[in-house]
Amino acid sequence: MHYKEVVLQVICTTLHRGTYGTCTWTYQGGPDDPDLLFIQRSKGLRLHAGQPGFPGGVIEAADQGPVAAALREAAEEVGVDPHGVDVLGTLAELFIPPTGFQVIPVLAWWRQPCAVSPVDQGEVAAVERISVSELAEPSARLMMHRPRGIVLPAFRVRGMLIWGMTAALVDRLLELGGWERPWDASTVVNPLSARVETDGA
């Protein structure tokens, strides 16, 4: 089974200072233009306040591992029904130096998609389903300066600035899935100016 031929959900599990959490990508729609589920984090959060990302949270003692926690958190935050999800396996672990997070993407097929919306509004302010065609639109793409001189991909879409680990994973997905379109990677901005432009859009 090729992931372009099915409706997919990618569940990312994270480890930070010995505490596990989860973040979820949701893919729906046809094989040519599935969409991804993004959340806008609430502005009152201690970490990543107001930023777009994937649903996520901490693995609790009762969880049977990171996959179970990912399914639970996706249900608690945005209403994903875990009974409609078939987990396919895990992907290679990622390490995020600025935060110390270790990220293990877990690939799954969302066999029975359902309506999603913010459930825990203390953590999630909004939910957006964005198609890969929107994300692959050349005008939505840019590169962003990060600390230590690193330059990483970012996306401006629907008034959101998607950057960091989220954008890096989306960038890789577009390439692997064959959805990437030629774009001008010489457009490099700093985080402050990118946020100002997005806020004013």
pTM over 0.85: no
List the single range of 140-149, 152-161, 177-186 with lowest mean pLDDT: 140-149
In this prediction, residue 20 has a pLDDT band, given cuts at 50, 70 and 90, of: very low
Mean pLDDT of 177-196: 78
Specify the CATH number for the domain of residue 49. Answer: 3.90.79.10
Strands 188-189 and 141-145 turn out to be: parallel
Is pLDDT of 55 > 70? Answer: yes
Q: How far apart are CA 198 and CA 201, in angstroms?
A: 5
pLDDT value for 2: 36
The more confidently predicted of residues 112 and 143 is 143
C-alpha torsion sign, points 191, 193, 128, 169: negative
Tens-digit pLDDT profile for residues 78-126: 898 989 888 777 667 777 676 676 776 766 777 788 888 999 888 889 8
Look at the chain and report how many structural domains it folds into.
Answer: 1
Q: Residue 56: helix, strand or coil by DSSP?
A: strand
E strand or H helix at 145: strand 141-145
Is pLDDT of 164 > 60? Answer: yes
Tell me which residue range forms the domain holding 188. Answer: 3-199
Q: Do residues 184 and 138 lie in contact, with contact meaning Cβ atoms separated by under 8 Å?
A: yes
Strand partners, 119: none
